[in-house]
Amino acid sequence: MILSDRSIKQEIKDGRIIIDPYNESCVQPASLDVHLDSTFIVFQPWEYPHYIDLRQPLDKLSSTVIIGKEQFFSLQPGQFALASTIENIELPDDLMARLEGKSSLGRVGLLIHATAGYVDPGWKGTLTLELYNVSPMPIHLYPEMKISQLSFHKLTTPVDIPYGDPKLGSKYFGQRGPVATKYFQDFKQPNLISFSESETDKSRNKILNTNKTFKHWLEKSRFQGQIGKFSEEIGIPNKTIQNWLYRDIKPSKKYERILYRFMQRERILEGAVSYPFDLN
Q: Return the top range by mean pLDDT from 62-71, 148-157, 167-176.
A: 148-157
Of 4, 67, 68, 49, nearest to 30 by C-alpha is 4
Q: What is the pLDDT of residue 218?
A: 74
pLDDT in tens, 11-22: 999 999 999 999
Q: What is the pLDDT of residue 273?
A: 41
Tell me phi and psi for residue 57, to 5 degrees.
-60, 145
Confidence of residue 257 (pLDDT cuts 50, 70, 90): confident
User: What structural domains and CATH numbers belong to the chain?
Assistant: 5-186 (2.70.40.10), 199-270 (no CATH)
Q: Return the top range by mean pLDDT from 142-156, 177-191, 249-263.
A: 142-156
Of 34, 28, 33, 27, nearest to 13 by C-alpha is 27
> Higher-confidence residue: 37 or 54?
37
Average pLDDT over residues 35-56: 86
Q: Minimum mean pLDDT among 6-10, 123-127, 175-179, 199-203: which range? A: 199-203
Cβ contact 43:62 at 8 Å: yes
Of 130, 199, 232, 266, which is the active-site residue?
A: 130
Cα(215)–Cα(224) distance, integer angstroms: 10
CB neighbour burial string for 56-68, b if at least 16 within 10 angstroms, e if fewer:
bebebbbebebbe
pLDDT in tens, 79-97: 999 999 999 999 999 999 9
Q: pTM of the prediction?
A: 0.65
- Asked whether the predicted pLDDT for residue 200 surpasses 60, the reply is no
**Residues forming a β-bridge with 129:** 83
CA neighbours closer than 13 Å in the CB half-sphere of residue 114: 11
Is 130 part of the annotated catalytic residue set?
Answer: yes
Confidence of residue 210 (pLDDT cuts 50, 70, 90): low
Of 25, 180, 24, 202, nearest to 116 by C-alpha is 180
What is the DSSP track for 203-251?
HHHHHHHHHHHHHHHHHHSTTTT-HHHHHHHHT--HHHHHHHHHSS---
Instruction: Share the mean pLDDT of the chain.
Output: 82
> Higher-confidence residue: 212 or 35?
35
Three-state DSSP at 255 gives helix
- Asked whether the predicted pLDDT for residue 269 surpasses 60, the reply is no
Q: What is the pLDDT of residue 268?
A: 46
